[in-house]
């Protein structure tokens, strides 16, 4: 088997919770050596002190090493400087200016390693009127115009359980930019500072409402646009047992196949009906779908090319033949000695196979290993422990 795509790349990861850790998870799964730099008690995503490490943490922190470092303690800045000298990437998720005040911001580390790619992930960017405000996914979605569209017709905006701005806006946008900057650093010898605003990046993906605005010269209300419930051929319908069927039959051939299988071929030309006519078609389809259970509809559409699917729960997703056939789970050990299925690296590449090489680390599990790799000897490590920058081995 060939080397993994990012073998030999070292990443210093100062991020916590979801956007940054998901970004570095993807990079670690592709072979990067991700060193997770956590506060002494471990990052917030591990959960409250004295409780078992959260499953949330385990889903996004495999294939990484961890050192627990008090960034405000004497000697900590020098540790980061030494690590940065041989690193390729730094990823951080603090508010703008925090790393610079600690003496480990981009300008500090660039002076040590000009090839360094430094990515700062924040809610609203490094400048602008909201730069210093805290926020979460719901706030970034709001400013990006996404949350306003996440509603039924006439209903209130309601976020789903998929944090779009954190993941698509933060994690994936950061990973994309890091890889581009790494490519350029390899040929130019110069790194870059990357400013990832989760709001900006989520906004840039919110193209459907923007296109509708330009088309109709006014915003289209939630639940009335092409993909949000305005068309009979694209939406969800409740089944007899309270479950839902998802219909994405935008093209006429798919809608006609759906109507034929559902027993309403007379509606085959009404998939794009709008206004009162569209509402009437949708009501007819709703009544038809409501007459059978989800299991019955799954049987009806089994193997049929009609863009129809069951709306699955997460437990059903894990058991589904598609998930299994695509190798999309990996059994991951957890502290109680058992293991749980987590999602695997999703992209397939030639000459590359995703593997679980490191289980999610304990906080500070690799303190001594990483410190020695960066040239710290016994005396250096003892002084760092005395200063409280790192903990004694027994506490790891």
- Residue partners of 59: CB distance under 8 A and separation at least 6: 342, 343
DSSP 266: G
> Which helix (DSSP H) or strand (DSSP E) does residue 330 occupy?
strand 329-333
Please check whether residue 331 is in contact with residue 340, taking contact to mean a CB–CB distance below 8 angstroms.
yes
Number of helices and strands in the chain (H, E): 17, 11
Q: In the β-sheet with 193-197, what is the strand arrangement from edge to edge? A: 64-68, 33-38, 10-13, 89-92, 117-122, 193-197
Task: Kindly give the interhelix angle for 19-29 and 173-188, rounded to the nearest 10 degrees.
Answer: 50
* Cβ atoms of 67 and 11 closer than 8 Å: no
Task: Give the closest residue to 99 by CA, choosing from 222, 201, 12.
Answer: 12
Beta-bridged to residue 352, according to DSSP, are: 349
Q: How far is CA 186 from CA 32, 116, 163, 182, in A?
A: 15, 10, 33, 6
Q: How many CB atoms lie within 10 A of CB 49?
A: 7
Note every long-range contact of 281-286, with CB atoms under 8 Å and residues 24 or more positions apart, other chains counting.
Answer: 281/232, 282/232, 282/235, 285/232, 285/237, 285/247, 286/237, 286/238
Residues with Cβ within 8 Å of 28's Cβ and at least 6 positions away in sequence, in order, are 11, 34, 62, 63, 64
Strands in 30-186 per DSSP E: 33-38, 64-68, 89-92, 117-122
Q: What's 175-187 look like in SS3?
A: HHHHHHHHHHHHH
Paired tokens of 136 = 């979460």
Q: Which two tokens stand for residue 304?
A: 């049929």
Residue numbers annotated as active site: 136, 166
310's enclosing H/E stretch is strand 308-310
């Amino acid at each position: 088997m060939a080397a993994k795509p990012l073998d030999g790349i070292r990443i210093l990861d100062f991020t916590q919770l979801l956007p940054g850790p998901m970004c570095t998870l993807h990079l670690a799964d592709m072979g990067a050596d991700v060193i997770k730099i956590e506060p002494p008690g471990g990052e917030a995503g591990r959960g409250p002190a004295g409780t078992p490490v959260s499953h949330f943490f385990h889903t996004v922190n495999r294939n990484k090493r961890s050192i627990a470092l008090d960034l405000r303690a004497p000697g900590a800045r020098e540790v980061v400087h030494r690590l940065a000298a041989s690193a390729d990437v730094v990823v951080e998720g603090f508010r703008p200016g925090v790393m610079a005040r600690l003496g480990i911001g981009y300008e500090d580390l660039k002076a040590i390693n000009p090839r360094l790619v430094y990515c700062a992930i924040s809610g609203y960017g490094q400048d602008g009127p909201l730069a210093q405000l805290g926020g979460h996914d719901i706030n970034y979605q709001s400013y990006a115009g996404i949350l306003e569209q996440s509603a039924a017709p006439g209903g209130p905006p309601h976020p789903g359980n998929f944090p779009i701005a954190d993941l698509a806006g933060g994690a994936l946008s950061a990973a994309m930019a890091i890889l581009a900057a790494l490519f350029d650093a390899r040929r130019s010898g110069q790194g870059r500072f990357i400013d990832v605003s989760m709001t900006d990046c989520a906004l840039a993906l919110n193209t459907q409402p923007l296109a509708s605005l330009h088309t109709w010269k006014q915003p289209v209300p939630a639940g009335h646009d092409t993909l949000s419930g305005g068309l009979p051929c694209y939406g969800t319908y409740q089944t007899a047992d309270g479950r839902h069927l998802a219909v994405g039959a935008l093209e006429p051939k798919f809608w006609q196949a759906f109507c034929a299988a559902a027993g309403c071929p007379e509606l085959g030309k009404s998939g794009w009906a709008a206004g009162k006519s569209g509402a009437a078609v949708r009501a007819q389809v709703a009544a038809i779908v409501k007459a059978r259970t989800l299991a019955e509809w799954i049987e009806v559409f089994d193997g049929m090319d009609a863009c129809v699917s069951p709306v699955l729960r997460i437990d059903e997703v894990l058991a589904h033949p598609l998930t299994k056939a695509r190798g999309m789970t990996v059994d991951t050990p957890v502290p109680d000695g058992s293991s749980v299925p987590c999602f695997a690296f999703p992209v397939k590449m030639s000459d590359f196979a995703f593997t679980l090489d490191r289980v999610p680390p304990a906080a500070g599990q690799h303190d001594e290993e990483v410190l020695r790799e960066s040239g710290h000897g016994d005396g250096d490590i003892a002084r760092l422990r005395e200063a409280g920058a790192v903990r004694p081995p027994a506490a790891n």
